Chains A and B, each alone.
Chain A
Amino acid sequence: MPYRSFILRKFFTLVLTLFIITLVNFVLFRLLPGDPIMLLFRDPRLTPEQIDYLYHKFGLDKPLWEQFFIYLWNLLRGEWGISFAYKKPIMEILIPRITNSLILVIPATVLSILLGVVTGVVAAWKRGGLTDALVSFVSLGLYSLPTFWLGGIFIFLSINYWRLPVGGMLNYGVDHSNPLAYLGDLFTHITLPLATLTLVSYGSFTLTVRGALLDVLSEDYIRTAVAKGLSSWRVLSRHALPNAMLPTVSLTAVSLGTAVTGSVLTETVFNWPGVGRLIFDAISNRDYPLLQAGFLVITISVLLANFLADIVYGLLDPRVKYR
């Protein structure tokens, strides 16, 4: 079964990458200037004996390699440390944030991919024409647009004209027992961040699809298909698109990393209570364990999304499936 071995190999790469990420994460935060105990307690009245005791209690007197394996084991158990600023276990803070981020990021990604595929195909098919020029220019522009600035412009417009909520996820102090009212409230709050994130991700997806399809359209078998007298639609749907799907899937996986940056900036601007906003707050509070955890969560989700893309790739590519 070559497909199974393909997936196994990808899975092995995933595990290896995860291991390296945790190692990098561990090492980076050891290089940090300052005493971790003082950073956590921020209390100059601690006596040397008390500090020594805390060092021992947190295992900071053990050799580094042992600390790394304890760290790894704790990560697996869901013990992600204590936030400097909130003084709470990080998992407690993180879990609701992850849900909130997914509520924003998944619809935005799906929407931008769908829109990107449609306009990318149209642009490639009508290449050289006015439509192509327009689509290319708009997507290049959206791709170059600073996310946080677009969000800010939306906030400005909304406050003066649109009257949509510009921050947070729900109204405070409102009874949310009615599920329809709850969804309505969520919907008005998500509109602007969703629009921002969709627009900035849309540009790169369109360019990706257009590029992949242009590559395929210059192949000889397309010329043959046209020479056979097939209709444009048939050439596109039967010969061009299936072959353009593969590079599209792998390039989409790569651009997920960029989409993540967009979501951090969008959440920050709109005060959306997700992982991205958490990272922004962690930077301003110098809350390193929280920053570390936020980085880890985002990286792991990008890695998992890539693994998912690999599985889809294997299913789409007959060379992987049937060899």
Chain B
Amino acid sequence: MAGRGLIGAAGGLARAVGVSLGLKTGVVVGGLRSALNAVVGNRKSRVGLAVILAYVALAILAPFISPYSPYETDINSILQPPSPQHLFGTDDAGRDLFTENMYAISTSLIVGLFATLVTILVGTVVGLVSGYYGGVVDEVLMRVTDFLLIVPPVMLMIVVGSLLGSSLLNIILVIGLLNWSPIARVIRSMVLTVKEWPFVEASRSMGAGDRLIMFKHIFPIVAPVVFANSMLSVANAIFSHAALVFLGVGNINDISWGTILHFAYTSGSFTAGYWWYFTPPGLMLLGLVLGFMLLGVGLEEVYNPKLRSSISV
């Protein structure tokens, strides 16, 4: 039953997403509007969203505002400090660092979003199935969840990543598949409460199946929490990716801040004092991670009134 449940559940989720995309545009528009209201209603998430949008704009504009190609080397101008020709200076192979830093945004965004997509999909299905069915299924899934929660994720990513090889897809999968346990836990605990609500029983008495109840009735209730958690998960994924690339796991030919910092470190720029080499990638990474963190923390405050700071004692 467990295996059938999991596969069925994944199918159900995909269908639920498909249905809401294809047929019920009204539901989707409503959902987006309420999500937007939630974001705009909180100061932290508003700032977070603004930061993220600025990064997205820069990522799209990267090819137009960068005067060079990110791969183009120029042996005659290596390690140049910032100048009108090279706004952020050049690295030890004479690449334009402004160009590299701008192109790096999209790598981080892609890793963050796709890894989180994997995380949400697995985390939601595991949480729903585990909480809804209970019993042996729950016990097994929760053991796996605990295992992933307790074992240091980046350590596991280092091992798996350096064994599997280092394509961007592998890194995305590794990050996505090792990060879903917090989401699964949160959803499971919510499902345990929601499934006892009378409307679920009413629906079942009218002949609704497990999958319908899980994805049509329970999922929409837990969806806001998934949304808030997924923003924190994006921050986490971007951070993990940078750390992995810095340590030499992952493809060092992808243009990313982790790569720039890896080479800044191995070429000794910290000790030699080439501040323009290592300062911008760190600051830009910090800004993007902070943006997603603020958005996630803000949304958590919106959906969990206990965290709001307005209650007075």
Task: Tell me the complex Cα distance, A280–B248, Å.
Answer: 8
Task: Tell me the complex Cα distance, A7–B290, Å.
Answer: 39
Question: What residues of chain A lie closer than 8 Å to B307, measured between beta carbons?
Answer: 211, 214-215
Task: Tell me the complex Cα distance, A62–B143, Å.
Answer: 31
Contact at A144–B265, with CB atoms within 8 Å?
Answer: no
- Please encode chain A, from 215 to 246, with 1 for each CB lying within 8 Å of some chain B CB and 0 for all others: 10110001100100000000100000000000
Q: How large is the interface on A (under 10, 10 to 19, 20 to 34, 35 or more residues)?
A: 35 or more
Contact at A149–B158, with CB atoms within 8 Å?
Answer: no
Question: What residues of chain B lie closer than 8 Å to A214, measured between beta carbons?
Answer: 306-307, 309
* Of A141, A146, A156, A302, the contact of B243 (CB 8 Å cutoff): A146
Closest chain-B Cβ to A46's Cβ sits at a distance in Å of 24
Task: Tell me the complex Cα distance, A146–B246, Å.
Answer: 10
Question: What residues of chain A lie closer than 8 Å to B310, measured between beta carbons?
Answer: 128
Number of interface residues of B (CB under 8 A): 48
Given contacts A149-B282, A156-B275, A283-B162, contact A302 B248 (CB under 8 A): no
Given contacts A149-B278, A159-B271, A280-B247, contact A144 B290 (CB under 8 A): yes
Residue pairs across A and B with CB atoms within 8 Å: the count is 148
Question: What residues of chain A lie closer than 8 Å to B290, measured between beta carbons?
Answer: 140-141, 144
Question: What residues of chain A lie closer than 8 Å to B247, measured between beta carbons?
Answer: 264-265, 268, 279-280, 283
* Of B160, B271, B285, the contact of A149 (CB 8 Å cutoff): B285
Question: What residues of chain A lie closer than 8 Å to B163, measured between beta carbons?
Answer: 28-29, 31-32, 288
| Residues of A near any B CB (own CB < 8 A) | 13, 16-17, 20-21, 25, 28-29, 31-32, 127-128, 132, 140-141, 143-150, 152-153, 155-156, 159-160, 166, 211, 214-215, 217-218, 222-223, 226, 235, 254, 256-258, 260-261, 264-265, 268-269, 279-280, 283-284, 288, 291-292, 295, 298-299, 302-303, 306
Can you list 19 contacts pairing A with B, beta carbon distance less than 8 Å?
A: A132-B309, A146-B246, A146-B286, A146-B289, A149-B281, A149-B286, A152-B278, A153-B270, A153-B279, A156-B273, A217-B311, A217-B313, A226-B313, A261-B155, A265-B247, A269-B265, A279-B158, A283-B249, A295-B158
